[in-house]
A and B are shown apart, each in its own frame.
With several copies, the nearest count.
Chain A
């Protein structure tokens, strides 16, 4: 399947892009992240949360949505 992945802040600096479409066959968030770490090794030690369809999800959540986002620590306000 193909998923839209969005990157923000420090994470987008590492990926050098703000969004991309990624083709994958893995099933949950942590498996998907392993795939991303192959592409962007320096993501591995970074602090971020994952949102699926605009809701935060845990590492073992199944990927079912059309959009994932990697969110570094919030800094609003």
Chain B
């Protein structure tokens, strides 16, 4: 149904700062861009009932999730005048302090990227079937729920 190919948004493990830096560098040949906005989700070492989160193990209903990421992409381009956008989400184990979500929106004008990045991130949180198992330092766990 989608007119462009659905991409695989998932990456195994944490998203490295090198990967993000390289992604920024690749946009320097696009000289119509005036503003980039980048959102990064980082795993927090939350303390719950005296136990500290050591990592989140992400799983997903991958086929549906990639379709949803694609739909978010299409809707975002329809709504906002972006030059380009990229989404990467981790699967598997991401330790506290590591990055699990990388959203990158670029446009000629700044006001658009502020609106676009918030729209994309909220849509990901609401629509994409990704599940997070918060693993405590004592190896017990609980399931994360987005608010």
Residues of A within 8 A of B (CB): 6, 8-10, 51, 54-55, 69, 71-77
Contact = CB atoms under 8 A, between A and B. Distances in A.
A76 B61 contact: no
A77 B146 contact: yes
B64 A54 contact: yes
B61 A71 contact: yes
13 contacts: A8-B60, A9-B59, A9-B143, A10-B131, A54-B67, A72-B143, A73-B146, A74-B128, A75-B131, A76-B65, A76-B128, A77-B89, A77-B101
Contacts, number: 72
Given A75-B143, A76-B130, A8 B121 contact: no
Contacts of B110: 77
Contact of B125 (A6, A8, A77): A77
A77 B67 contact: no
A45 to B, nearest CB: 14
Contact of A77 (B63, B100, B133, B145): B100
Nearest to A71: B129
Contacts of B64: 51, 54-55, 69
A74 B59 CA distance: 10
Interface residues of B, number: 29
Contacts of A69: 61, 64, 129
B13 to A, nearest CB: 16
A67 to B, nearest CB: 9
Contacts of A10: 131, 143
Interface in B67-100: 67, 89, 100
A77 B125 CA distance: 6
A71 B143 CA distance: 12
Nearest to B128: A76
B133 A74 contact: no
B61 A75 contact: no
Given A54-B67, A75-B144, 7 more contacts: A8-B129, A10-B143, A73-B143, A73-B145, A75-B130, A76-B125, A76-B132
